[in-house]
Every structure is written in structure tokens, then in C-alpha cells.
Structure 1
């Protein structure tokens, strides 16, 4: 795949960019180099390669799933302005 100078000029016009003829030439060359690189990468055979989440086969250490704090709900609700049946009462916000 390649891109032409008229395509760069059209995109510049649509983007409201002022671009000179020299810049169009340079931009066209650079974009074509990138597109050639993409074509090379797409040509690589990756059918027998398994996808991986991380290049290193590192395993995350997990902490024990245990309670580390005590339940302080009764203490917090004791200082709350209004509670009922273990719930906090708040003013109505939506009519």
C-alpha cells in the first residue's frame, strides 16, 4: 500500500492545515516508509505463535484473602446523623 501526494494535500485541506509542497513530499515519503514497515510486519508468519499477555512468564504473588480490619459499622453509625436498620438515611435528592 502506498499513499500519494494528492492524498496528503487532500487530508491537509480537510484538516485545515497549511502545508507546503516540500512538506507534502517529505510527509508522503515518511508515511510510505511506515506503510512499508507495516507490510513487512504483516508478512511475518504468526500462525504457530501462541498469544501472550506478557513477554516474561512472571507470576503475580497474591496475598491471602483474609479479613485485616474489624467491623466498625456500629461505631460509625453511632456518630451518623440518621440511621435505620443498619442503613444511613440521607435527604431525598431526586423527585
Structure 2
């Protein structure tokens, strides 16, 4: 049985939290700097993948799904221009 998208994202977040805790342990253990940097890179990559997944789901459910049965229950009713502006703002923040 496959996990729901929400459960998959929760699992990803828990894995990322574990990676961050691992970085903390590595610092406490005074591990080799390059090893710590590699772990930081892995966390960044995992966060980017989570962000892409969230953005994709937002576009599917909150933007394209606006006014349909697939609309997310928390989606705010917005005009197309307001939706576009919101996506542009979210993208600009995400891509920093």
C-alpha cells in the first residue's frame, strides 16, 4: 500500500530533521569539516526536493484546481491574477 502525498511529505520532513540532527552530532564530535559540508549539501538537496513537491502540489490543487473538486480545502478564493502573483512571490522566495 502506498503512502498518501501528505504522509510522504511528513516522512521527508522527518528524514530531513534526522539529517540536521546528524549535522549537530557531527559538530559536537568535531568531525572533519568536509564531511559536515557534504551533509549540509545533502540537507539542502532534500529541502529543495521537498519545496519542489510542495510547489507542484500547490499548482495542482490550489491554482489549477481553483473552483473544482480537486481544490485544496485550505485554498483561498483568488482571482487568476492574484494566484499568479502569489506563485511568483513563492517562486522568488524559494529560488533565493
TM-score range, shorter chain: 0.3 to 0.5
Normalized against structure 2, the TM-score is what? 0.34
Richer in helix (by share): 2
TM-score computed with the length of structure 1 as normaliser: 0.34
Instruction: Decide which structure has the larger Cα Rg and report it.
Output: 1
